[in-house]
Amino acid sequence: MNWEQLLELAEMLAGAPQHGETRGRPQQTYLRKANSAAYYAMFHAVANSNADTLIGTTLAVRRSEEWTATQRALNHGIAKSQMLNKSRMSTFHADIQDFSETFIALQVQRHDADYNPNPDTPPTRTQTMRNVQRARDAIKAFWAVSLQERKRFATHLLFPRRN
Partner 1 sequence: MPAAQTLSPEAEQNVAQIVRLDLEPITAKGISISEIRIMPGEDQDGDPYHHIIVIYSGNDDLLDPSWLNGFKRRNRDELAKWGVHITTESYVEDGEWSQVSNGSSYEG
Q: What is the dihedral of CA 113, 115, 117, 120, to 10 degrees?
A: -50
Of residues 44 through 83, those in contact with partner 1 by CB under 8 A are 76-77, 80-81
Of the two residues 72 and 130, which places its CB atom closer to partner 1 in the complex? 130
Chosen residue from 28, 57, 68, 155 binding partner 1 by CB under 8 A: 28
Q: Cβ 90 to partner 1, closest distance in Å?
A: 9
Dist. CA 129–CA 141, nearest whole Å: 18
Residues 63 and 57: beta-carbon distance below 8 Å: no
Residues 158 and 136: beta-carbon distance below 8 Å: no
Of residues 112 through 131, those in contact with partner 1 by CB under 8 A are 115, 120-127, 129-131
Range 147-150 contact pairs with CB under 8 angstroms and sequence separation of 24 or more: 147/52, 147/53, 149/92, 149/93, 149/96, 150/49, 150/52, 150/53, 150/96
Is residue 102 close enough to count as binding partner 1 by CB under 8 A? Answer: yes
The residue range among 4-12, 56-64, 108-116, 155-163 that interacts with partner 1, by the rule CB under 8 A, is 108-116
Binding site for partner 1 (CB under 8 A): 18, 25, 27-29, 31, 76-77, 80-81, 84, 86, 94, 97-99, 101-102, 104-109, 111, 115, 120-127, 129-131, 133-134, 136-138, 141
